[in-house]
Amino acid sequence: MCKPSGRRANSLGFCLVVALCASIVPEVVFAVQGNGNGNAGKVQDFMGLWQGVDPLDGSTVRLSLTDVNDDGILELSQAESFYSFCHSMGPEFSLGRGVEVGIATVGSRKDVLEVDIRLICIEDNNVPHEESPVSIEYQLRSHGRNLVIPAFPNSLPIVLHRVAE
């Protein structure tokens, strides 16, 4: 508790500054920690636009991770310039078009992103065909500069590089 002393004006000013600082510090701490979900700082490590090359077919891979709702659950949108899997579905998929959508959360390890994703292959005449969802883990590597999509059967891991935050 501040008590004015012989220099009443100076000590009152000092008390006001201390009171103001004490009221601001909890707000700053809360903002740095995030929204209380325990992974807020870690979520930031994954957010952004990532890009790489699929070593299986040479297609460009783009991954967007956002937290629009600020709830610690990332919205995921992933696209490739060519999906070998979609192309193999038949002649009506000759362009190999598709998109992957889903959600992701930071795992118990700060460098693991737990992803629930589904592939939607798109016919040449724009009819979508949704595949069954899968759960996989993406790993943050190289001091947060790379995100690795694990290998699936008949494929290799894909290394993505952060191109925008």
Tally of CB atoms within 10 A around 14:
14
pLDDT tens for residues 41-62?
Answer: 589 999 999 999 999 999 999 9
Task: Give buried/exposed letters for 21-58 (b at 16+ CB in 10 A, else e).
Answer: eeeeeeeeeeeeebeeeebbebbebbbebbebbbebee
Q: How far apart are CA 116 and CA 125, in angstroms?
A: 27
pLDDT value of residue 18: 42
Beta strands in 54-133 (DSSP E): 60-66, 74-80, 97-106, 112-122, 128-130
Question: How far is the C-alpha of 132 from the C-alpha of 104, rounded, in Å?
Answer: 16
Range 73-97 average pLDDT: 97
Mean predicted confidence (pLDDT) in 77-81? 97
Tokens representing 36 are: 């209380």
